[in-house]
Amino acid sequence: MPKLSHAGLGLRVGIFAITGILTLQFVSMLMGWAGLLVQAAMATFASAAVANGLSLRIYEREGLSGVGLAWRVGSLRNLGIGVLGGLVSALAVTGLPVLLGVATVSKDPERNFSLPSLIFVSLVFVFGAVGEELLFHGYAFQLLMRRMGAFSTLLPIGVLFAAAHSNNLSAGWMSFFNTFLWGVFLGLCFLRSGDLWLPIGVHFGWNWALPLLGTNVSGFKMVTTGLLLKWNVGPLWSGGDYGPEAGLLTTLVLPVLGWCLFKAPIDTTRPQMFEEDE
């Protein structure tokens, strides 16, 4: 990768951002007929695909594999470990309160288990996880990380990640803080594996498991199993209508998940965007 001036770096990141924003707005407008969750997931995916694809093609002569989506030996392992980590973490923030008697699981009086709904929500979460990871930890993130270092990149991108979710239903200061932590954590997952499969797996596993266990995800309610998690404590722990992502329990679980992934047998590779300057 040729050495870049600050102006050159700003130009590449700027084109990435402008392309992504314009695509996001255009696709959101086209999908105004869809529900808010579908609209957000598909617009984010399209925005990320166009911004990354265009930037990679112009500047690197690469496809999306250039930002960590190449399927190689170890990719399935990283994806699987990520999904498992997300699932277990979601189970912790919902199962522990039940075991401690501060929450109960009951049958949703309004909706029952629906296999089509489960399949549909699963597909939406696949597009959502891939889209958000490409958007926040794809080309621009990796370029900035390579030029500016981890600390100078992880924290600002974490803030952007949190800001992107700040307009969700029932969002507040605690959801912003935890989403910031998630943004930093998912960036660290990329550094741990050197590809996007680990953070995509964690992202999907967490989002997918929460509605299965009867709770909201980032302010969205999606009934897939007919279960409903009812809390007996205040929103500081439960997250209120936003879901566990706005609760203190998520804040405590994230470092444990990080330690487990640090110890897990992740297949690590050097990111292509981190190659030495030529």
61-to-11, 52, 65 alpha-carbon distances in Å = 17, 12, 11
pLDDT tens digits for 171-225? 999 999 999 999 999 999 999 999 999 999 999 999 999 999 889 999 888 878 8
Q: What percent of the chain has pLDDT over 90?
A: 77
**Segment 105-118 mean pLDDT:** 84
Mark out the alpha helices in 31-74 (DSSP H runs).
36-55
pLDDT tens digits for 29-53? 999 888 888 999 999 999 999 999 9
Task: Show me where the domains of the chain are located.
Answer: 73-274
Tell me which of 32 and 78 has the higher pLDDT: 78
Give which of 127, 97, 268, 278 is closest to 203, Cα–Cα.
127
Q: Are strands 227-231 and 103-107 parallel, antiparallel or unpaired?
A: antiparallel
Confidence of residue 2 (pLDDT cuts 50, 70, 90): low
